[in-house]
């Protein structure tokens, strides 16, 4: 595997379900990000982790819970989501000391 990978690529869940999105980067980076991409809206930054420590929470509802166990893996735990949470969730990584961010292919989430 190379670059940034995300699983699953597609996810359908009910509002009462609990699910998790996984991201893994194979680039040796030390910063990881979660973004939300909704139709007709700009990409929205959700969370930033630098050296496994959360440094940014962009006013994200608590039904989204991130976890970064090490600098290569990032999770987004989901529970009691709403239909308006349906979107493409993108993971990215970078070197903290550098500007360039590299994105994974995303998880297409549908909340019924």
Partner 1 sequence: GENVEQHPSTLSVQEGDSAVIKCTYSDSASNYFPWYKQELGKGPQLIIDIRSNVGEKKDQRIAVTLNKTAKHFSLHITETQPEDSAVYFCAERLRGNKLVFGAGTILRVKS
Contact segment (CB under 8 A) with partner 1 among 12-20, 60-68, 76-84, 102-110 equals 102-110
Instruction: Tell me the per-residue interface mask from 57 to 86 with partner 1, x by CB under 8 A, - otherwise.
Output: ------------------------------
CA distance 64 to 71: 20
Q: How many residues does the chain have?
A: 112
Contacting residue, 18, 51, 54, 55, with partner 1 by CB under 8 A:
55
CA distance 23 to 93: 10
Nearer to partner 1, 15 or 43 (CB): 43
For the purposes of burial, counting CB atoms within 10 Å of the CB of 47, is it exposed (0-12), middle (13-18) or buried (19 or more)?
buried
Q: How far apart are the first and last CA of the chain?
A: 32
Instruction: Evaluate whether 58 touches 51 at the Cβ level (below 8 Å).
Output: no
Contacting residue, 11, 21, 31, 111, with partner 1 by CB under 8 A:
31
Give the nearest distance from C-beta 59 to partner 1 in angstroms. Answer: 12
Name the site residues for partner 1 (rule: CB under 8 A).
4, 6, 31, 33, 40-43, 45, 48, 50, 55-56, 90, 92, 94, 96, 99-106
């Amino acid at each position: 595997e190379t670059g940034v990978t995300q699983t699953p690529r597609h996810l359908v869940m009910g509002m009462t379900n609990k699910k998790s999105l996984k991201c893994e980067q194979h680039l040796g980076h030390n910063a990881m990000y979660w973004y939300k991409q909704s139709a007709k809206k700009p990409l929205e930054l959700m969370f930033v982790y630098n050296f496994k420590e959360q440094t940014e929470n962009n006013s994200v509802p608590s039904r989204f819970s991130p976890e970064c166990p090490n600098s290569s893996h990032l999770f987004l735990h989901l529970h009691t989501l709403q239909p308006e949470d349906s979107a493409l969730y993108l993971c990215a990584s970078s070197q903290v000391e550098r500007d360039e961010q590299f994105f994974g292919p995303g998880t297409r989430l549908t909340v019924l």
